Structure 1
């Protein structure tokens, strides 16, 4: 695992926050059409069908997917079943901006999980980088007026996202425990398919509980169909592929700093939908977040 940021790696790690910010906006827009856990199941069921033609070889008898099923069942539970379910559930009481704001704490959780569970030392540059990146997020939320931060209100959905971000940090570190020379890693689609196979099963179980314990219903139509297609292709398959590749290249801690771009992108998407133009504080936030990424990626001097 190389912690140097190359242009290709930067491109890989920029794609997920763009798609995940879009996912938050879209997920909020369809809360009246589909229950959150059902939406998550539909998303991953479609993603599973999309990946089958590309990665079906990993489903053959004797594959690591079956021989090491506890590992892939855990990855599916954390990254597919729990994290995304909690995010869609959070969007029923929280805004896309707040949800992506809480996601900005992911680098902090990456550092904590890496130190506590994997014995990875925390470098001073990573701490400074975390502070800078979070300052960039705060700049977006406050519109450049830091005193406005005291007027922010948090709701139950925000607390669900705190749990979700911790789960995502654990999931990302678990990705690094899959050996780079494992046969299942020979093809990205197969590796992702193995996770989604178990994750879709977990999501289906959660959706079944949702239908049995609540009175939510689905409003079928073209809007829901387009939504499911988008969240399955973009935030699911493409974003997870890029995230997994990026984590393998630079590790979960450095990759986590790119998540701090998500609230900035979500804010810009909201501005675009309202027909407004970006403001100077968006440029300041961008520079702070990028500064945090650069500082966190610098290696400790010998």
Structure 2
């Protein structure tokens, strides 16, 4: 029996798919705001601790003795490393020195990393349209890195944030390919809260180790400034609550439902709204208006997605 075709895109489905890129853009903007107040790795750990506490009453059965989580703990440990500890930590590191617009646009190099990781580690075939689309998307990323001046290619120097975000895109590609290997118990896979809690539980272990290393570096190995590492305020508390509820839980829930309704191809177009939303939010809250090269880069990245997702006649 052939797989059912996704239902036509309805208004409710479109609204569901608009929420994740809005949350992801907001995550980049508030992450930039919080950068002076809290170390990035610690920020990521606290975000997921709050998300864990929210998920616990929704899917606490995952942590019981005899749960499929403990049988498949190695798989969820890898998923937690890439998604909970890896990608988000690297994004917050990137926001220390780069802008939300740049971060979200550089993250759009994902199609390139998807092809590389899929081919090298999962023996996935590479379509010609996918290669062309990846080249277009990568060109858009280069436009961002050179700020639209191609003469800069000869002596291009990445700011640390851009380099961190390129690594984050590679990590997310690894995570996405691991998701295609659906080896875990179906009772966890079909429950979004249980699936996210399983990843978060083991991902917190990785995030805790990385945070301990960050504090060791800041307090002993680096030149200590004497200032508190975390500058607590109501604004920081509100940001932590937002990133735990919005980008961590609400976006994940809406994205999963939207993809089930519309299919991954249509959903991919909505994910590319993240840089646009980030540009609008940066102009409104950070005084960082988008420039012409941002629009060119966004157009190239969007065109790359359209080309790579096109079906053969």
Do the two structures share a fold, i.e. TM-score over 0.5? yes
Q: Distance in 1 between matches of 2:292 and 2:19?
A: 24
Q: Deviations over 1:31-77 (max 9, x none)?
A: 12111111001100000111111111222322221111000011001
Q: Contact 2:98–2:159 (CA<8 Å) still a contact in 1?
A: yes
C-alpha separation between the residues in 2 aligned to 1:115 and 1:59? 35
Give the aligned partner of residue 220 of structure 1.
232
* Higher mean C-alpha displacement, 278-287 vs 22-31: 278-287
Offset from partner CA, 1:186-236 (integer Å, 9 cap, x none)? 311111111111112221222122222313611111011001001111111
The aligned counterpart of 1:267 is: 279
Deviates more, 1:258-267 or 1:111-120: 258-267
Shift in CA distance, 36/277, structure 1 to aligned 2, threshold 3 Å:
closer
1:126 corresponding residue in structure 2:
130
Of residues 69-78 and 7-16 in structure 1, the stretch that sits farther from structure 2 once superposed is 7-16
- Contact 2:52–2:200 at 8 Å: present in 1 too? yes
Q: Counterpart of 2:24? A: 20
1:172 paired with 2:172, answer no
Report the counterpart of residue 224 of structure 2 in structure 1.
Answer: none
Measured on the aligned residues, the alpha-carbon RMSD in Å equals 3.5
Displacement of 1:179 in angstroms is 4.4
Contact 2:112–2:135 (Cα < 8 Å) also in 1 = no
Count of aligned pairs? 298
Residue of 25, 30, 34 corresponding to 2:34? 30
Q: Distance in 1 between matches of 2:116 and 2:16?
A: 24
Distance 1:261 1:133, change over 3 A: farther
Structure 1 residues 101 and 138: CA distance shift in structure 2, 3 A: same
C-alpha distance 160-274 of structure 1, shift in aligned 2 (>3 A):
closer
Q: In the TM superposition, what is the alpha-carbon distance from 1:270 to its structure 2 partner?
A: 1.7
Q: Check the 8 A contact 1:123/1:300 in 2, yes or no.
A: no
**Aligned-partner Cα distance in 2 for 1:214–1:6:** 52
Shift in Å, 1:267: 1.8
Moved more, 163-172 or 150-159: 150-159
Moved more, 86-95 or 174-183: 174-183
Q: 2:223 corresponds to which residue? A: none
Q: Residues 89 and 155 of structure 1: is their aligned pair in 2 closer, same or farther, counting only changes over 3 Å? A: same
Match of 2:164 among 139, 160, 165: 160
8 Å Cα contact 2:106-2:144 kept in structure 1: no
> Residues 129 and 261 from structure 1, CA distance in 2 versus in 1: closer, same or farther, beyond 3 angstroms?
farther
**TM-score, with length taken from structure 1:** 0.82
TM-score normalised by structure 2 residue count: 0.80
Segments of 5+ residues of structure 2 without an aligned counterpart are: 220-227
- Structure 2 Cα separation of the partners of residues 34 and 49 of structure 1: 21
